[in-house]
Structure 1
Amino acid sequence: MAKRKTKFMCNDCGYESPKWMGKCPGCGAWNTMVEEVEVVVKGPRRTFQHSQTVSAKATPITAIETQEEPRVATELNELNRVLGGGIVPGSLVLIGGDPGIGKSTLLLQVSALLANKGQRVLYMSGEESIRQTKLRAERLGVTSSELYIYSETNLELVNETIEQVEPKFVIIDSIQTVHHPEVTSAPGSVSQVRECTAELMRIAKTKNIAIFLVGHVTKEGQIAGPRLLEHMVDTVLYFEGERHHTYRILRSQKNRFGSTNEIAIFEMLQGGLKEVLNPSELFLQERSQGAAGSTVVASMEGTRPILVEIQSLVTPSSFNFPKRMASGIDQNRISLLMAVLEKRMGMLLQTQDAYIKVAGGVKLDEPAIDLAVLTSIVSSFKGTAVKATDCFIGEVGLTGEIRRVSRIEQRVIEAAKLGFKKAIIPASNIGGWDFPEGIRVVGADTIDDALKEAFPYEG
């Protein structure tokens, strides 16, 4: 009996090596090389040809005719926003998230909405039996004769079922449980995930079927399997949220048919997920009035402005090295802003512990939140609350200047809608647009100017 040949592959980038190495030469990650059985595929490899491809030869770009991608809109407007307007037939969508966050619930609800519109949907579960899926569907009130449930992990049998049912949409829950019989490695391995995804991509493109893949995530929050998986699919969505909170955020990381910065917000209820149409009002409804360390920022998520509360707690430290802890904000940004306050404003913060949190479990990473975070730290340090009707927008530089931010008009309009009376923004953003009624817009060149507006009675 011939000895089986093995090779080692990197789980992150797919780098192949004949021997094990602690550090991957391809991406530099440690302990990501796993042993795989080398697969020899006999015969020609199947490929797909896009339905809109006219010719296989090179064509001048001026001679190519284009048309807008057709879309199927669901009744979930939040999902349509993230996908760029709806589901594109023939697309391959990957949804990742922590266990129990609600990925299967979301896709089952989407399947029901599509089936109720007369679209045939095949829901393939490799982790639950058809009876378990039926029980979950009953809890969600899902009843439609156009929704087909199938429990299988063999990709060839899944392909045969797709041929028989002829659905317009297919849900694969999850890609790590599916295996190809021609690949000898275990389900969930690098080889299996790569080959199964390639086969499902061929099915989606040749049959013009939209396929949703559920992907498991690692302890670092990344989708398990080779990094190549995210490059192969058309759209990558992450379903985020705290298990102890009822709110979930669907975030787009990659989208060939739309923006990559959009988010959708849902609320997890007993009867399933409910879309949140006004997230700003939701995040501010439990805000404490007159509390020191609380400020509000108008942050942009894609094309949508969202007002979020920033909370800070600055207290004397009992350690030689004070703590800097952050939730929802990069911790390095907190250290940078506190260093600016020490150098430019003379505040002695090196003896203070600082704890900063974004209320509601939202993660903010844009520069426009700097001024709100800085003001929140100063408010907690001084023990003086800012006015509940003040909003702060702006990027803070290392020299203490307030820098221009994008989409300032949309941010201020959203603040005015929710009843805010004053918006402190960069002075360079003043001019060229009309201020909304009911709100006073103040421009600030430096953090000193901004803090004088935030604390007018502090001398």
Structure 2
Amino acid sequence: MKQKTMYLCSECGYENAKWFGKCPSCGAWNTMGEFKVKPETATRGVANFTRGTSRPTLLHEIETNDESRFYSGIGELDRVLGGGAVHGSFVLVGGEPGIGKSTLLLQMCQEMCRNAKVLYVSGEESLRQIKLRAARLEIKSPNLFVLAETDMEQIINETELLAPDVLIVDSIQTVYKRDLTAAPGGTTQIKECSMSLMQYAKNKNVTIFVVGHVNKEGTLAGPKILEHMVDCVLYFEGERNGPFRCLRAAKNRFGSTNEIGVFEMSDHGLLEVTNPSAAMLAGHPSGAAGNCIACVMEGSRPILAEVQALVAKTQFGVPRRTAAGVDYNRMVLLLAILEKRAGLFLSSSDAYVNVVGGMRLDEPAVDLPMVLAIVSSFRDKPLPEGVMSFGEVGLTGELRAVSSASQRINEAYRLGFHTCIMPMQDVDENLMHQMNIVRVHTVGEAIQAVL
């Protein structure tokens, strides 16, 4: 029978027999990709159903034992996964080219192979290239098997014969199924190959790690349904020219999505950063205007980071605004609050805000440190030594409470800070004797307290 042509949106998975320049579901442009569908045999009258092996089960009869986990040997990776990888889980690792995804997974193989059999499938590198990279990373293990293959049927067959405990596919964009006419890396190929891997992981209780590339918008390339199929989505972030990398969980069915892992890229691969705060504050200038120390919560971990700002008189009719590591729209909003509520005329000045170390700070608690850094640069007056801050800023200039205030203060005290500027909220009484805690109501009060 003749195959039917359908069109699938790579952003939201919307299907239609007609092509659209703009997806009717999500509104994205030029995302409708063509794929072929095999027609099903039509039957007249009552369909003849064949009963499969699956049976309905009463909810109270289902066993709820704790999921079986195993450790990858990399503490930061285990933290993001929620305490280790779950047997039979399907994990997607995404990131920009050259960020270190393959390096991380290859280093993970070195530790996992001590107690498990691992198969590393590469569709991007030859066996010789993998061997050279493993030698550079000093990876030697008798239980690590390597396969250079892009045919999905062949990958499944070899995996069946080897029966590994862990399967790694690098990357999902390079593998293909022979019975599909679409090219490798297309929407249809990625969807079908991922479905095959997911079914194999659940049926054979094999843990599968899949590498996925990102597009120019920073999202995972391929259909959005790919992220819904997997159990865990990990994003590897960071500046390629910078030393630090952050592993963040965007989805995790077996743990929290707020935890992050911090790594440092070196000549011998990725090194774990067990104390990110000390690493981020290394090289912090003393007596320089325009910088303030912020404390943000990444899951259960408080992290101190340096927020820098530069305010200079504009040379053009419209002032320039640039943000790196913080939300651009949030920075513009805080500039408007400072001009309206604090009386600082910033409309004729360029403003640049940067987070040192390549970190991305999205928490509202970074509002107050950003404000203090901007005011410090505008007045060309440095903040006193040993001062850190956190707090959310409202549109009327008031400061709002944030979560885990005591943990943030403890982390700052451990690293040698003695003064904390924070909103009016309750903290542990013991901290009041350890640090000089200045609680303020508004942005104006916070500025007067330190500048």
Normalised by the shorter chain, which TM-score bucket? over 0.9
Kindly indicate whether the alpha-carbon contact (under 8 Å) linking 2:4 and 2:39 is maintained by their aligned counterparts in 1: no
Instruction: State the shift of 1:6 in Å.
Output: 2.2
Corresponding residue for residue 334 of structure 2: 337
How far off is 1:33 after superposition? 1.1
Specify the alignment match of 1:52 in structure 2: none
Task: Deviation per CA, 1:213-254: give whole Å up to 9, x if none.
Answer: 000110111111000000000000011111111211111100
Match of 1:396 in 2: 393
Cα distance between partner residues in 2 of 1:39 and 1:176: 23
* Shift in alpha-carbon separation, 1:431–1:169, aligned structure 2, 3 A: closer
Q: In the alignment, does 2:162 pair up with 1:161? A: no
Other-structure match for 1:326: 323
Distance 1:64 1:165, change over 3 A: closer
> Please, which moves more after superposition, 156-165 or 33-42?
33-42
Match of 2:440 among 438, 441, 444: 444
Partner of 2:86: 88
Instruction: Verify: 1:358 aligned to 2:344, yes or no.
Output: no
Match of 1:8 in 2: 7
The corresponding residue for 1:405 is 402
Which secondary structure does the structure 1 equivalent of 2:77 belong to? helix
The residue number in structure 1 matching 2:250 is 253
* 2:31 aligned with 1:35: no
Residue 308 (structure 2) pairs with residue 304 (structure 1): no
- Aligned-partner SS, 2:173: helix
Question: 1:37 deviation in Å?
Answer: 2.5
Distance in 2 (alpha carbons) for counterparts of 1:79 and 1:208? 21
Supply the distance in 2 between the matched residues of 1:190 and 1:293 (Cα, whole angstroms): 47
- Per-residue deviation, residues 132-183 of structure 1 (Å, max 9, x unmatched): 1111111111111100000111111111111111100000000111111222
1:41, distance to aligned residue in structure 2 (A): 7.4
- Paired with 2:235 and 2:38, the residues of 1 have a C-alpha distance of 31
- 2: distance between equivalents of 1:183 and 1:40? 14
Unpaired runs of 5+ residues, structure 2, are: 42-47
Residues 101-145 of structure 1: CA distance to partner in whole angstroms, max 9, x if unpaired?
111110000011111x23100000011111111111111111111
Measure the CA separation in 2 of the matches of 1:452 and 1:254.
42
Query: How far apart are the structure 1 equivalents of 2:2 and 2:164?
Result: 43
Equivalent positions of 1:127-166 (< 5 A) are 127-166=124-163
CA distance in 1, matches of 2:291, 2:398: 22
CA contact (8 A) 1:416 1:436 kept: no
Residue 75 (structure 2) aligns with: 77
Match of 2:112 among 111, 114, 136: 114
The change in CA–CA distance for 1:277 and 1:354 in structure 2 (over 3 A counts) is same
Partner SS for 2:271: strand
Cα deviation 1:36-65 (Å, max 9, x = unaligned): 2334579x9xxx99xxxxx842534x5544
Cα deviation for residue 437 of structure 1 reads 5.5
CA contact (8 A) 1:204 1:210 kept: yes
Pair 1:137–1:41, CA change in 2 (3 A):
farther
Q: Structure 1 CA distance, aligned partners of 2:150 and 2:232?
A: 23
Q: Deviations over 1:333-353 (max 9, x none)?
A: 111111111111111111111
**Structure 1 residue ranges without an equivalent (≥5):** 50-54
Q: Please, what TM-score do these two structures have when normalized by structure 2?
A: 0.95
Q: Secondary structure at the match of 2:347?
A: coil
Deviations 1:177-220 (A, max 9, x none): 11112222111111111111111011101111100000011011
- Looking at structure 2, the residues matched to 225 and 336 of structure 1 have their Cα atoms a distance apart, in angstroms, of 34
**C-alpha displacement of 1:5:** 3.4
Q: Say which SS state the counterpart of residue 242 (structure 2) adopts.
A: coil
Secondary structure of residue in 2 paired with 1:24: coil
The answer to whether the 8 A contact 1:311-1:357 is kept is: yes
- Quick one: distance in 2 between partners of 1:181 and 1:319? 58
Q: Distance in 1 between matches of 2:129 and 2:39?
A: 38
* CA apart distance, 1:16: 1.6
Deviations 1:427-458 (A, max 9, x none): 1x234553175421111111122112112xxx
User: Which amino acid in structure 1 is aligned with residue 342 of structure 2?
Assistant: M
CA distance, structure 1, for counterparts of residue 439 and residue 57 of structure 2: 54
For 2:292 and 2:370, locate their aligned partners in 1 and report how far apart those are by CA, in whole Å: 8
What is the match of residue 177 of structure 2?
A: 180
Local SS of the residue matching 2:444: helix
Kept in 1, the 8 Å contact 2:3–2:39? The answer is: no
Does the alignment pair 1:194 with 2:194?
Answer: no
Question: Structure 1 segments of 4 or more deviating over 6 A?
Answer: none
The 8 Å contact of residues 430 and 443 in structure 1, kept in 2 or not, is answered as no
Report the more deviating stretch, 133-142 or 62-71: 62-71
Q: 2 CA distance for matches of 1:196 and 1:40?
A: 20
Letter in 2 for 1:263: I
C-alpha displacement of 1:332: 0.9
* Change in 2 beyond 3 A, CA 1:39/1:97: farther
How far 1:75 moved relative to its partner? 2.1
Over the residues paired in the alignment, what is the CA RMSD in angstroms? 1.9
- Identity among equivalent positions (%) equals 50
Q: Distance in 1 between matches of 2:40 and 2:429?
A: 63
User: Over residues 251-296 of structure 1, what are the superposed CA-to-partner deviations in whole Å (9 max), with x where a residue is unaligned?
Assistant: 1100000000111111111111100000100111111101100100
Once residues 366 and 126 of structure 1 are traced to their aligned partners in structure 2, the CA distance between those partners, rounded to angstroms, is 38
Q: Secondary structure at the match of 1:423?
A: strand
Conservation of the 8 A alpha-carbon contact between 1:412 and 1:436: no
Please state whether the residue corresponding to 2:156 is helix, strand or coil: helix
Instruction: Choose from 266, 279, 284 the match for 1:282.
Output: 279
Counterpart for residue 21 of structure 1: 20
C-alpha distance in 1, partners of 2:61/2:390? 46
For residues 26 and 374 of structure 1, the distance between their equivalents in structure 2, rounded to whole angstroms, comes to 40
Q: Describe the SS at the equivalent of 2:6.
A: strand
Secondary structure of the 1:424 match is: strand
| Structure 2 CA distance for aligned equivalents of residues 21 and 163 of structure 1 | 41
TM normalised by structure 1 equals 0.93
Q: Is the contact between residue 39 and residue 183 of structure 1 (CA under 8 Å) also seen in structure 2?
A: no
